[in-house]
């Protein structure tokens, strides 16, 4: 299992795991690689012992993952989960730092400029810290730039009436 798994090999294993009767032509179309490349990769997967081929009739093949092939898929899934968790933890730490900084400055309401999963981490962290979400851009806007949360504070214009007492 020490052999490096190319992304095309993993994708082929995954597709075969989903449908053992898949054809090389449909694999080619699904993965957007040439049929000749699919054939080459399948031969490589057979040689590695990750899939076996059964002839159903003269023209029809069935591909089955071996125990080793299933192990490759399992290891790849576990690595993906570990990597994803690491990314989550990294952004969760960054989000906590932003929320603490905002709270420390007495800011209790922000507008988050973005709606992807990374901004969702910040959104939930701010809510936990008691910071409300503005529906439209206002005094404090937070956005994501180069994998970092960036806080922008807009100056609030002071009107002449603000200092007068009635």
Could you state, in order of their start, the residue ranges of all structural domains in the chain? 7-65, 86-153
Check residue 115 and give its pLDDT: 86
What would the mean pLDDT of 114-132 be, rounded to a whole number? 94
Residue 159: pLDDT above 90?
A: no
Residue 162: pLDDT above 70?
A: no
Residue 23: pLDDT above 80?
A: yes
Mean of the per-residue pLDDT values for the chain? 89
What are 130-158's pLDDT values in tens digits?
999 999 998 899 999 999 999 998 876 65
Check residue 138 and give its pLDDT: 87
Judging by DSSP bridges, how do beta strands 61-65 and 51-55 pair with one another? antiparallel
Q: Are the C-beta atoms of 15 and 27 separated by less than 8 Å?
A: yes
Check residue 6 and give its pLDDT: 84
Residue 112 in tokens: 């988050």
Check residue 164 and give its pLDDT: 54
Q: Give the CATH fold of the 7-65 domain.
A: Arc Repressor Mutant, subunit A (1.10.10)
Residue 160: pLDDT above 70?
A: no
Q: Are the C-beta atoms of 131 and 98 separated by less than 8 Å?
A: no
- Sorted by sequence, the CB contacts under 8 Å of residue 97 that are 6+ apart come out as none
What would the mean pLDDT of 105-123 be, rounded to a whole number? 93
pTM (2 d.p.): 0.59
Q: Per this entry, what is the length of the chain?
A: 166
Extended strands (E) in 1-160: 51-55, 61-65, 109-113, 132-133, 140-145, 148-153
What would the mean pLDDT of 91-112 be, rounded to a whole number? 95
What are 53-89's pLDDT values in tens digits?
998 888 889 999 999 999 999 998 899 899 999 999 9
Residue 1: pLDDT above 90?
A: no
Q: Are the C-beta atoms of 38 and 28 separated by less than 8 Å?
A: yes
Q: Are the C-beta atoms of 131 and 103 separated by less than 8 Å?
A: yes
Percentage of residues of the chain with pLDDT beyond 90: 75
64 forms bridges with which residues in the sheet?
52
């Amino acid at each position: 299992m020490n052999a490096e798994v190319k992304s095309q090999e993993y994708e082929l294993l995954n597709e075969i795991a989903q449908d053992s009767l898949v054809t090389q032509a449909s694999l080619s179309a699904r993965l957007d690689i040439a049929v000749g490349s699919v054939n080459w990769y399948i031969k490589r997967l057979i040689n590695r012992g990750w899939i076996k081929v059964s002839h159903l009739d003269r023209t029809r093949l069935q591909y089955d993952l071996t125990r080793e092939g299933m192990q490759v898929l399992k290891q790849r899934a576990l690595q993906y989960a570990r990597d994803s968790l690491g990314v989550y933890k990294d952004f969760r730490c960054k989000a906590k730092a932003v929320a603490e900084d905002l709270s420390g400055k007495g800011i209790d309401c922000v507008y988050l400029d973005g709606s992807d999963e990374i901004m969702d981490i910040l959104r939930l962290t701010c809510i936990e810290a008691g910071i409300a979400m503005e529906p439209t851009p206002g005094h404090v806007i937070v956005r994501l730039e180069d994998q970092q949360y960036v806080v922008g504070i807009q100056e609030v214009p002071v009107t002449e009436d603000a200092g007068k007492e009635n």
